[in-house]
Amino acid sequence: MTGQHFLTLLDFSAADLLRIIERAIEMKRERREGVDQRRFPGSVLAMVFAKSSTRTRVSFEAGIAQLGGNAMFLSPQDTQLGRGEPIEDSARVISSMVDLVMIRTFGHDIVERFAAHSSVPVINALTDDFHPCQLLADMQTWIERRGAIAGRSVCWVGDGNNMCQSYINAARQFDFSLRIACPPGYEPRRELLEANRDRVELLHDPVQAVRDADLVVTDVWASMGQEDEQAARIERFTPYQVNAELMSHAASDALYLHCLPAHRGEEISADLMDAPDSVIWEEAENRLHAQKALMEALLLTNRGA
Q: Is the pLDDT of residue 251 over 90?
A: yes
Which residues make Cβ contacts (< 8 Å) with residue 279, sequence separation at least 6?
Answer: 141, 145, 255, 256, 257
Check: CB of residue 296 under 8 Å from CB of residue 24. Answer: no
Q: What pLDDT does 1 receive?
A: 67
SS3 of 261, please?
A: coil
Q: Is the pLDDT of residue 64 over 80?
A: yes
Q: Is the pLDDT of residue 281 over 80?
A: yes
| Phi, psi dihedral angles at 289 (to 5 degrees) | -70, -40
183 Cα distance to chain centroid: 22
- CA–CA gap between residue 26 and residue 7 (Å, rounded): 24
SS3 of 27, please?
A: helix
177 Cα distance to chain centroid: 18
Q: What pLDDT does 19 receive?
A: 98
- CA–CA gap between residue 241 and residue 219 (Å, rounded): 10
**Mean pLDDT, to the nearest integer, of 245-253?**
98
Q: What pLDDT does 231 receive?
A: 84
Does 234 or 83 have the greater pLDDT score?
Answer: 234
Q: Is the pLDDT of residue 136 over 80?
A: yes
207-to-31, 155, 262 alpha-carbon distances in Å: 40, 10, 21
**Mean pLDDT, to the nearest integer, of 70-89?**
87
**Mean pLDDT, to the nearest integer, of 114-139?**
98
Amino acid found at 134? Q
Q: Is the pLDDT of residue 304 over 90?
A: no
Q: DSSP label at 248?
A: T
The secondary element (H helix, E strand) that includes residue 170 is helix 162-174
- CA–CA gap between residue 91 and residue 235 (Å, rounded): 42
Q: What pLDDT does 135 receive?
A: 98
| Phi, psi dihedral angles at 183 (to 5 degrees) | -65, 150
HEC per residue, 120-161: CCEEECCCCCCCHHHHHHHHHHHHHHHCCCCCCEEEEECCCC
Half-sphere exposure (CA, 13 Å, Cβ side) for 87?
Answer: 15
Residue 104 CB neighbour total at 10 angstroms:
23
Check: CB of residue 157 under 8 Å from CB of residue 218. Answer: yes
Q: Provide the annotated active-site residues.
A: 104, 131, 134, 219, 259, 287
* Of residues 135, 176, 173, the one with CA closest to residue 154: 176
**Mean pLDDT, to the nearest integer, of 129-135?**
98
Q: Is the pLDDT of residue 297 over 70?
A: yes
- CA–CA gap between residue 200 and residue 194 (Å, rounded): 9
Q: Is the pLDDT of residue 206 over 90?
A: yes
Q: Write out pLDDT tens, residues 157-201.
A: 999 999 999 999 999 999 999 999 999 999 999 999 999 999 999
Q: What pLDDT does 25 receive?
A: 98
Q: What pLDDT does 305 receive?
A: 53
Q: Is the pLDDT of residue 215 over 80?
A: yes
pTM: 0.96
Q: Write out pLDDT tens, residues 3-54.
A: 799 999 999 999 999 999 999 999 999 999 999 999 999 999 999 999 989 9
Structure confidence at residue 134 as a pLDDT band (50, 70, 90): very high
Lowest mean pLDDT among 68-77, 139-148, 204-213: 68-77
Q: What pLDDT does 96 receive?
A: 97
Q: Helix-strand-coil percent breakdown of the chain, rounded to 5?
A: 45, 15, 40
Check: CB of residue 199 under 8 Å from CB of residue 176. Answer: yes
Which residues make Cβ contacts (< 8 Å) with residue 240, sequence separation at least 6?
Answer: 157, 158, 181, 182, 183, 206, 218, 221, 267
| Phi, psi dihedral angles at 15 (to 5 degrees) | -65, -40
Q: DSSP label at 51?
A: S
Q: What pLDDT does 223 receive?
A: 77
